Amino acid sequence: MTTTLPPRERTDNPHPDSQPSRKEKKRRAKRDPFAFAYPGWFYAPAGIIYGILFLFPTIISFYFAFTRWNLSSAEFIGFDNFVTFFTQERLFRGFINTLIFGALTSFAKVVLGLLLAVVLTSGIFARGYLRAVVFFPVLVSTIGVGVTFKILFDPFDGLVNEALAVIGITGPNWLTDPNMAIYSIAIVDIWKGVGLAALIYIAGVVAIPSDYYEAARVDGSNAWHSFWHITLPLVRPATITVVILSLIGGLRTFDLIWTMTSGGPGFASDTIASVIYKQYAAGYYGLSTAGNVILFVLVTAIVLPIYIFLNRKSKEL
């Protein structure tokens, strides 16, 4: 899992008087007698590594996605790779699964994360211990988690189905049923990631002033009302963080898929990221890069509007 914090624009400024207009900013930059102390070349070392190994490959991917490519020569073939991607069932399934996986895991992490946060910020017994237990899977190797659950999900000997059998439920074929596999992997992803969502929500819930709840209680508000009208609107920044973070992670998901099913059975649980790997391994570099471009466009098209929309809403509040 490469969990990264979502893009947050920091608006808090240590100098309250230094939020000037653009013109003002320019004038100050010119006059700032200390500007020389923060030279532009401080950007250079990071910029060179980022530019060569991240930015440049991203830019050229938009050319190579339109080629048949073997690293030494590239033949321009127009939209063929994209047509292949969207018309072949075994590739297109990856696209659909990516959407399902991203939507499902983000939604579950928001709901369960907030629920856990509310419970874990109440006066409940053993709060610190519970937080630690819920959070620890976030830090554990995705491969380790994947291998473990692959065995726990074994339809016959697996612990999950044995436990379900005890309470009289016949467990499904978690990873071997083509209609079930992607959802089983999503469950494991939620299991591993919900601790992070809960942690972010806890930070958000703790920051709400307790006066609000007291005032509401005086006015006769019950717990549900307080949650709906105070907690929920005021944890909005945390929700933005959780949604964006889960989407970035969920839409790019690869490690867990690759460890648990390798996209199988057949191609039933492929995602775009696993298709990219499979096409790369098979030597179809152009097609693999087209997959990369599709993933780029998909992630940007989903995350960016949500980011802008949710941020604007929170400023209005």
Partner 1 sequence: MRTERIRNLVGGIIAIVVTGIIFLVPFIFILLTAMKTREEANLLEFGWPVGDFRLLENVIEVLQIRDYTVVRAFINSSILTVFSVSIMVVLAAMVGWTLQRRQSRWNGLINMLVLAGLIIPPAVVPTIFVMKTLGIFATMPGLILVEIAFGLSFCILLFRAFAATVPREIDEAAIIDGAGPIRLFFQFAFPLLRSVIVTVIVVQSVFVFNDFAAPLYFAPGAENVTVQLSLYNFQSQYFTSYNLLFTDILLITVPPLILYIFFNKQIVAGLTSGAVKG
Site for partner 1, residues 111 to 130, rule: CB under 8 A: 119, 122-127, 129-130
Residue found under tokens 């949500």: 306
Q: Which residue, 91, 291, 127, 261, is CA-closest to 187?
A: 261
- Residue count, binding to partner 1 (CB under 8 A): 117
User: Torsion angle, CA of 51/56/59/64, rounded to 10 degrees?
Assistant: -170
- Phi and psi angles of residue 260, each rounded to the nearest 5 degrees, phi first: -85, -40
Nearest to partner 1 of 179, 214 (CB atom):
214
Identify which range of 51-59, 99-107, 168-176, 211-219 contacts partner 1 by CB under 8 A: 51-59
Q: Which of 110, 185, 248, 268 is the binder for partner 1 (CB under 8 A)?
A: 248
Q: Give, as ranges, the residues between 74 and 93 that touch partner 1 (CB under 8 A).
A: none
Question: Shortest approach of partner 1 to residue 149 CB, angstroms?
Answer: 7
Q: Which of 83, 207, 282, 308 is the binder for partner 1 (CB under 8 A)?
A: 207
Nearest to partner 1 of 49, 169 (CB atom):
49
Q: Give, as ranges, the residues between 130 and 169 that touch partner 1 (CB under 8 A).
A: 130, 132-145, 147-152, 154, 157-159, 162
Nearest to partner 1 of 28, 229 (CB atom):
28
Give the angle 271-272-274 at the CA atoms, nearest 5°: 65
Whether the CB-CB separation of 155 and 176 falls below 8 Å is answered with: yes
Q: Which of 16, 21, 45, 168 is the binder for partner 1 (CB under 8 A)?
A: 45
Nearest to partner 1 of 136, 179 (CB atom):
136
Q: Which of 2, 19, 179, 222 is the binder for partner 1 (CB under 8 A)?
A: 2
Q: Give, as ranges, the residues between 10 and 39 that touch partner 1 (CB under 8 A).
A: 10-15, 25, 28-29, 32, 34-39
Binding mask 263-302 for partner 1 (x = CB under 8 A): ----------x--xx--x----x--xx--xx-xx--xx--
Q: Which of 254, 261, 267, 271 is the binder for partner 1 (CB under 8 A)?
A: 254
Nearest to partner 1 of 71, 218 (CB atom):
71
Nearest to partner 1 of 54, 179 (CB atom):
54
Nearest to partner 1 of 9, 219 (CB atom):
9
Q: Give, as ranges, the residues between 210 and 239 that touch partner 1 (CB under 8 A).
A: 236-238
Question: Shortest approach of partner 1 to residue 151 CB, angstroms?
Answer: 7
